[in-house]
Amino acid sequence: NTMQKKDLIEQIAQRTGIDKLTVRHVIEDFMAVVQENMVKGNGVYLRGFGSFVLKKRKAKVGRNVRQRTSMVIPACYVPAFKPNKKFVEKVKQTG
């Protein structure tokens, strides 16, 4: 099962008693702040949960199979999530 944003909004609204529209705005603003900071090169650390970090991918040679050519794919940064150790342990126990 995969939880979607609407499911997250519903669960938070039920737990907190805050209306769904307000919860939706908070979640969307949270995502925007995380994205804006990562675009600026900043990580986002949430104690007890994990960190949104930037990982550097090395340059590599890729292949265009149709044209049978090679090309260099330049190094770049990609966003990643690194969960807190306790979070990882909880997930391991459920599997």
Report how far residue 17's alpha carbon sits from residue 48's, in angstroms, rounded to the nearest whole number.
23
pTM: predicted TM-score of the whole model, two decimal places: 0.80
Q: What is the pLDDT of residue 95?
A: 64
Q: What is the pLDDT of residue 12?
A: 98
Q: Using 70 as the pLDDT threshold, list the residues of the chain that sit under it.
A: 95
Q: What is the pLDDT of residue 10?
A: 98
Report how far residue 81's alpha carbon sits from residue 71's, in angstroms, rounded to the nearest whole number.
29
Q: What is the pLDDT of residue 1?
A: 87
